[in-house]
Amino acid sequence: MIQISENNIAERFMRYVQIDTQSDPQSETYPTTEKQKNLSQILLSELQHLGIQSDLDAHGYVYATLPSNSDKKNIPVICFCSHVDTAPDCSGTHVKPILHKNYSGDDITLPDDTSQVLKLSDAPYLKNHIGSDIITASGNTLLGADDKSGVAAIMEAATFFINNPDVKHGNIKILFTPDEEVGKGTAKIDMKKLNAKFGYTMDGGEAGSLEDETFSADGATIIINGVIAHPGYAKGKLVNAIKIAGEILDALPKNEWAPEVTNKKEGFVHPVRVEGIAERATIEFIVRDFDNEKLAQHGERLRQLALKTVKKYPGVTMEFSIKEQYRNMKGVLDNHPKVVAYAAAAIKRTGLKVKTESIRGGTDGSRLSYMGLPCPNIFTGMQGIHSKLEWIGVKDMAKSAETIVHLCMIWEEKS
Ligand SMILES: [Zn+2]
């Protein structure tokens, strides 16, 4: 029986969330904000204090290695990964975590902004935590459970292994990344240095959830070249590219094929940016589906739809391009069924029910999976992320750390 102290992980988590680590989508530097290193530095010194070999590189990545204590030589190297940054959508400055002991089920009014009320009716998952401890922010900021709960779970599991040397495991790698929230979390990972065979991101929601499937994602760009003439003498000549862009957008279906009217396994096409002058206009889209073949069909359908509009105007031309963004991790994970199966077994050993889920989005794990590190995503308990009403149940976080321990033990046992 593996037991992770709820008090310890709560204390650890509350210490980490008070450090402002917001990333910046506008920044061109790596990491996008220097302040993320303030937490990375603390993690580095805590790891070193535990006697775990670790380092922090110039881009803000922390790499650590917990060496094998098993006689078996064939255990694959497993990596656990979390991101230190918090989302730019909501302030992360002066986060004041509040521990609500023995949550009663009543509304929780956050003290620094009393318009922020956490209610069971809005967040039904709170029901699972009545009688347990939960943590919220104080009203002016997000909490940062995304993903400091993952960081705390990994650190707590590492501490467990140091304190329990008789629990057998193979080589374990720990990786803390910056800039996940701005889509650059994997940009500067040194895969050679990491040198792991399989990975797990600790960056998921409800207790027991195991995400092994993400969207496949493309970006599509349509450039419309209009026909330009002096507006005073344009009769019969000028064709305005901006107006054609508007016409293409208007031709998009309204009851299907859009994020606002799809869910579950349905894909979509979604315009995210328009830019132009009368002569030349550009529309950028994101294209999403779980199935790569369907993803390609969405792209082709979009091209045909735009072409049909453009063809009505002689002299107008269109440039259409598709750029791959990321791919469904399932495509990789299906080739390594043990990775997900062992994670499910580890979750079960903690006494939780496994909920296998698909993410209507991407994770660092989708990119890592295609960078050679098959990498599903495991729960930490985070809820209401990227908002002032973000919260987390302490027992979920402890179970997340417990899952990590069991997972390492299972890889050792089965090798
Ligand atoms: Zn996250």
pLDDT in the model for residue 155: 98
pLDDT in the model for residue 362: 84
Q: pLDDT by residue (tens digit) across 296-352? A: 999 999 999 999 999 999 999 999 999 999 999 999 999 999 999 999 999 999 999
Q: The tokens 């992980």 sit on which residue?
A: 9
Tell me if residue 203 is catalytic: no
pLDDT in the model for residue 177: 98
Q: Please, which contacts does 291-300 make with residues 24 or more away whose CB atoms are closer than 8 Å? A: 291/216, 291/267, 291/328, 292/216, 292/327, 292/328, 292/331, 294/267, 295/216, 295/217, 295/218, 295/267, 298/257, 298/267, 298/268, 298/269, 299/218, 299/220
Distance CA 290, CA 385 (A): 23
Distance CA 33, CA 56 (A): 15
Find the 196 Cα to ligand 1 centroid distance in Å.
21
Find the 397 Cα to ligand 1 centroid distance in Å.
14
Find the 294 Cα to ligand 1 centroid distance in Å.
27
CB-proximal residues (5 Å) to ion ligand 1: 146-147, 203
Q: pLDDT by residue (tens digit) across 96-131? A: 999 999 999 999 999 999 999 999 999 999 999 999
Find the 297 Cα to ligand 1 centroid distance in Å.
30
Report the Cα–Cα distance between both ends of the chain, in Å, rounded.
21
Q: List, as one string, the DSSP characters of 168-184.
A: ----EEEEEES-GGGT-
The token duo for 94 is 């002066």
Distance CA 383, CA 145 (A): 8
Q: The tokens 């993410």 sit on which residue?
A: 359
Distance CA 268, CA 362 (A): 14
Tell me if residue 147 is catalytic: no
Distance CA 78, CA 364 (A): 16
Count Cβ atoms below 10 Å from residue 178 Cβ, excluding itself.
29
Distance CA 377, CA 90 (A): 24
pLDDT in the model for residue 194: 97
Find the 145 Cα to ligand 1 centroid distance in Å.
8
pLDDT in the model for residue 102: 98
Find the 147 Cα to ligand 1 centroid distance in Å.
5
Find the 86 Cα to ligand 1 centroid distance in Å.
8
State the burial class of residue 154 (Cβ atoms within 10 Å of its Cβ: 0-12, 13-18, 19+): buried
Q: List, as one string, the DSSP characters of 202-248.
A: EEE-STTEEEEEE-EEEEEEEEEE-B---GGG-TTT-B-HHHHHHHH
Find the 83 Cα to ligand 1 centroid distance in Å.
7
Cα–chain center distance at 384: 14
Q: List, as one string, the DSSP characters of 22-63.
A: B--TT--SSSSSTTHHHHHHHHHHHHHHTT-EEEE-TTS-EE
Q: Letter for the amino acid at 23?
A: S
Q: For residue 284, give Cα distances in angstroms to 34, 302, 376.
A: 30, 11, 29
Find the 277 Cα to ligand 1 centroid distance in Å.
38
Q: Which among 196, 206, 204, 201 is positioned nearest to 411, based on CA atoms?
A: 196
The token duo for 44 is 């580095």
Find the 241 Cα to ligand 1 centroid distance in Å.
39
Distance CA 294, CA 385 (A): 30
Given the residues 6, 156, 180, 218, the one annotated as active site: 180
Find the 10 Cα to ligand 1 centroid distance in Å.
18
Is the Cβ–Cβ distance between 387 and 142 less than 8 Å? yes
Q: Which residues pair with 67 in a beta bridge?
A: none
Given the residues 46, 85, 156, 396, the one annotated as active site: 85
Distance CA 271, CA 254 (A): 13
Distance CA 382, CA 364 (A): 17
Cis preceding-peptide flag for 147 (omega within 30 of 0): yes
Is the Cβ–Cβ distance between 364 and 91 less than 8 Å? no
Find the 101 Cα to ligand 1 centroid distance in Å.
25
Q: What is the pLDDT along the chain (415 residues), one digit of tens a residue?
A: 899 999 999 999 999 999 999 999 999 999 999 999 999 999 999 999 999 999 999 999 999 999 999 999 999 999 999 999 999 989 999 999 999 999 999 999 999 999 999 999 999 999 999 999 999 999 999 999 999 999 999 999 999 999 999 999 999 999 999 999 998 999 999 999 999 999 999 999 999 999 999 999 999 999 999 999 999 999 999 999 999 999 999 999 999 999 999 999 999 999 999 999 999 999 999 999 999 999 999 999 999 999 999 999 999 999 999 999 999 999 999 999 999 999 999 999 999 999 999 999 888 899 999 999 999 999 999 999 999 999 999 999 999 999 999 999 999 999 9
